[in-house]
Chains A and B, each alone.
Chain A
Amino acid sequence: MSILVNKNTKLLVQGITGRDGSFHTKKMIDYGTQVVGGVSPGKGGQTVHGVPVFNTVSDAVKETGANTSVIFVPAPFAADAVLEAAEAGIDLVIAISEGVPTLDMVRITPYLKKKGTKLVGANCPGLISPGEAMIGILPGGIFMKGNIGLMSRSGTLTYEMVYQLTHSGLGQSTCVGIGGDPVAGLYYEELLQMFEEDPETEAIVLIGEIGGDAEERAAQYIKEHITKPVVGFIGGLTAPPGKRMGHAGAIISSGTGTGAEKIAAFEAVGVQVARQPSEIPELLKKLLKL
């Protein structure tokens, strides 16, 4: 088991004929992900790396039975692409596109809710269930199948953590990049619940960063609903207020969303927080009595 994606996932790539879409389609296929189709309006009938391309998501779903879609279209059109996938009955949409306007995300949220479509991202590296499927732009080679569930607002920081985990012999059940934007699809709470219910996941790593209060809310959720051990890390402890640290969501505004507040919130509910990435494997091993 794992969460969200596995070897039965049938994936569509929206924006498959673009530079990034095409490049990462190849990587996903190489990893073993079942990429069943692509969508690129006006390019229906072509193939990319042997994958058939359709004009609309509806056509693609009808022909291929796809249940998951990954979005590589440019940011101004990304929200529309998510809606198209939801309308066509796709269950899970992963939006990689960076720079999507916040109000676009706000506008699409009610429709996704109505259709029951799950969204990961935007502005995220994707997700992976090692040995089963990789969706997005993650470097498959550093991951290893195992029992640690991981969620993160950042891409490269995830890689750093995973690299440390894998090198310490701690494999992963699923790793999810939730994205660095202020308004995103799945948040920590939903993923914590999925990991809690996943028999393969034994412990959870939560990698947060400054800005917003998602980590504080996650801490509260862990206290009330999560029985599995959780270890945290917060990026941006030294970031100055009012400066956007790369991610649109990573900004400390009017004194809230600081790293210190987030660490305090986690520690108050018994979640240990690593002060540097290399501490994560040790903390996990202690908690799992390995």
Chain B
Amino acid sequence: MKIHEYQAKEILARYEIPVTNEILCYSVSEVQTAAQQLGFPCVVKAQVLTGGRGKAGGVKLVRNAEEATLAAEKILGMDIKGYTVEKVLVAQGVSFVSEIYAGLTIDRNTKSAVFMVSREGGVEIEEVAKDNPEAIFKFAVEPDLGMAPFFARKIAFALFDDLSLVRQATDLFQKLYKVFIDTDASLVEINPLVITSDNQLLALDGKMTFDDNALFRQPGILALNEPSEDEKKEIDAKDKGLSYIRLDGSIGCMVNGAGLAMATMDMIKLYGGEPANFLDIGGSSNPQKVIDAMNLIISDKNVKVVMINIFGGITRCDDVAKGLVAALEQIKIQIPIVIRLSGTNSKEGLEILKNANLPTVETMSEAAEKAISLSVDFLR
């Protein structure tokens, strides 16, 4: 789960990490008032749940009231990677001498949290990571040690010679680790963490994402969730036991299991088609789930054909077949369906489909080929 910059900085501030003075605004007039209150220069920043807003023109430095108004008018309502900007953060301008990167995430290989810092912070950090990886220092945090003072100091000394900065960073890094652990975060990032002209560390930006698996014990974090329209559909699907992600193609997919669902999408693409969605109906084969899944797929108007790929393991093919027959009796579908059923009890399942006049194919590749040719025919 993602949250906005302003929410992340509120959390950081709660842990006494120094952040910029700033005010959240929903309208041009609120921006005008906020800018007057904070003084010029200040920065107007789009609050959207996606990266790259600076490059998209969603962040503007303003020097006077007129510029603030212009920036607010331009950024509010702007579209950034499919997200509409509904609120902006007006932050006090800060003069700084250097930009640091500081981030915490999970390292799959050490199976621990990893603290990453760099003297080359700022918007180009991803390029730094790619072109100059030795400029990013990584420290795996041993879980039973945590961010002990000496460890935080070690990281601070990797960045700074100035003892005042080392002291500030040692304190800040321990707090940052505590935020990470306390909130079950999967990423906490301050980029840039600046050294101001009076030699103070200050978080100019903040980014946090959280482990979805831990939200059950993080009610305060869960309350910050602001799902987009597509995400609402995904959440609604999840409540029904389905894992759904909308894509741009025309071939709707219904598959059991995440790995097979991914492989099915790949197969469609391999044969020259475009999948309309990722959809994992999970392990159970209760007919209602199949009905819900079918409704979800066809709610996407781009879908021209539905491809069903079930491999019965724990899921039994005869149960899925019964579900399909029931689903198709309940919802009238105008578009063609391609079905592939294999695995546990497939003989019984195929018999049920045959009796219901639902044709099937034998393999995944055949199913993909057929679905693609049907989607092309449909367009004619």
The residue that A238 contacts in the complex, of B186, B265, B280, B283, with Cβ under 8 A, is B265
Contacts of A99 in B (CB 8 A): 213
Whether A277 touches B313, Cβ cut-off 8 Å, given contacts A102-B213, A103-B184, A103-B214, is no
Interface residues of B in 106-165 (CB under 8 A from A): 106, 108-109, 111-113, 126, 129, 142-144
Q: Which residue of B lies closest to A246 (CB)?
A: B258
Please count the residue pairs between chain A and chain B whose beta carbons lie under 8 angstroms apart in the complex. Answer: 168
Mostly, the A contact residues are loop
The residue that B181 contacts in the complex, of A103, A244, A248, A277, with Cβ under 8 A, is A103
Contact A101 B214 (CB under 8 A): yes
**How far, in Å, is A238 (CB) from chain B's closest CB?**
4
Whether A209 touches B245, Cβ cut-off 8 Å, given contacts A103-B181, A106-B111, A159-B311, is no
Contact B184 A139 (CB under 8 A): no
The residue that A157 contacts in the complex, of B143, B212, B216, B257, with Cβ under 8 A, is B257
Interface size of A as a range? 35 or more
Contact B270 A239 (CB under 8 A): no
Bound CA–CA A238/B249 (angstroms):
11
Contact B314 A154 (CB under 8 A): no
Q: Mark A254-290, 1 if CB is under 8 A from B, else 0.
A: 1100010000000000000001111000000000000
Bound CA–CA A244/B313 (angstroms):
23
Contacts of B280 in A (CB 8 A): 246
Q: Looking at B142, B265, B311, which has the most chain A CB atoms within 10 Å of its CB? A: B311
Contact B259 A155 (CB under 8 A): yes
**How far, in Å, is A118 (CB) from chain B's closest CB?**
14
Contacts of A278 in B (CB 8 A): 363-365
Q: Which residue of A lies closest to B260 (CB)?
A: A156
Q: Which of A9-17, A36-44, A52-60, A210-218 contacts B (4 or more CB under 8 A)?
A: A210-218
A89 within 8 A of B: no
Mostly, the B contact residues are mixed
Q: Which residue of A lies closest to B342 (CB)?
A: A163
Contact B108 A155 (CB under 8 A): no
Contact B259 A109 (CB under 8 A): no
Bound CA–CA A242/B245 (angstroms):
11
Whether A209 touches B181, Cβ cut-off 8 Å, given contacts A110-B144, A244-B212, is no
Bound CA–CA A132/B45 (angstroms):
61
The residue that A137 contacts in the complex, of B108, B213, B314, with Cβ under 8 A, is B314
Q: Mark B234-264, 1 if CB is under 8 A from A, else 0.
A: 0000000001010100000001111111110
**How far, in Å, is B72 (CB) from chain A's closest CB?**
28
Interface residues of A in 107-135 (CB under 8 A from B): 107, 109-110, 125
Bound CA–CA A106/B278 (angstroms):
29
B33 within 8 A of A: no
The residue that B243 contacts in the complex, of A141, A155, A246, A254, with Cβ under 8 A, is A246
Bound CA–CA A255/B130 (angstroms):
10
Interface residues of A in 202-261 (CB under 8 A from B): 207, 209-210, 212-214, 217, 233, 235-240, 242-250, 254-255, 259
**How far, in Å, is B270 (CB) from chain A's closest CB?**
6
Contact B262 A245 (CB under 8 A): yes
Contact A139 B343 (CB under 8 A): yes
B16 within 8 A of A: no
**How far, in Å, is B371 (CB) from chain A's closest CB?**
14
The residue that A277 contacts in the complex, of B186, B255, B263, with Cβ under 8 A, is B263
Q: Which residue of B lies closest to A234 (CB)?
A: B266
Q: Mark B86-104, 1 if CB is under 8 A from A, else 0.
A: 0000000000000000000
Contacts of B270 in A (CB 8 A): 275-276
Contact A155 B111 (CB under 8 A): no
The residue that B343 contacts in the complex, of A163, A182, A207, A214, with Cβ under 8 A, is A163
Contact A101 B312 (CB under 8 A): no
**How far, in Å, is A69 (CB) from chain B's closest CB?**
20
**How far, in Å, is B178 (CB) from chain A's closest CB?**
13
Whether A276 touches B142, Cβ cut-off 8 Å, given contacts A139-B343, A238-B265, A245-B261, is no
**How far, in Å, is A273 (CB) from chain B's closest CB?**
12
Contact A153 B311 (CB under 8 A): no
Q: Looking at A106, A152, A154, A250, which has the most chain B CB atoms within 10 Å of its CB? A: A106
Contacts of B263 in A (CB 8 A): 157, 160, 233, 235-236, 276-277
Contacts of A76 in B (CB 8 A): 216-217
A85 within 8 A of B: no
Contact A101 B258 (CB under 8 A): no
B275 within 8 A of A: yes
Q: Which residue of B lies closest to A105 (CB)?
A: B111
B27 within 8 A of A: no
Bound CA–CA A75/B211 (angstroms):
13
Bound CA–CA A40/B266 (angstroms):
42
A183 within 8 A of B: yes
A100 within 8 A of B: yes
Bound CA–CA A85/B112 (angstroms):
21
Interface residues of B in 27-65 (CB under 8 A from A): 50
Whether A239 touches B265, Cβ cut-off 8 Å, given contacts A101-B214, A110-B144, A156-B256, is yes
The residue that A212 contacts in the complex, of B108, B243, B261, B269, with Cβ under 8 A, is B108
A180 within 8 A of B: yes
A70 within 8 A of B: no
The residue that B259 contacts in the complex, of A100, A209, A255, with Cβ under 8 A, is A209
Whether A236 touches B311, Cβ cut-off 8 Å, given contacts A107-B143, A243-B245, is no
Contacts of B260 in A (CB 8 A): 154, 156-157, 159-160, 235
List, sorted by A's number, 29 A–B pairs whose CB atoms are closer than 8 Å.
Answer: A102-B106, A102-B186, A103-B211, A103-B214, A105-B111, A109-B111, A110-B143, A137-B283, A141-B344, A156-B257, A156-B260, A157-B260, A163-B311, A183-B108, A183-B111, A207-B259, A209-B262, A212-B108, A213-B109, A238-B266, A239-B278, A240-B247, A246-B261, A247-B259, A254-B126, A259-B266, A276-B267, A278-B363, A278-B364
5 further interface pairs, Cβ-Cβ under 8 Å (given A156-B258, A245-B245): A103-B106, A139-B314, A183-B106, A238-B265, A276-B266
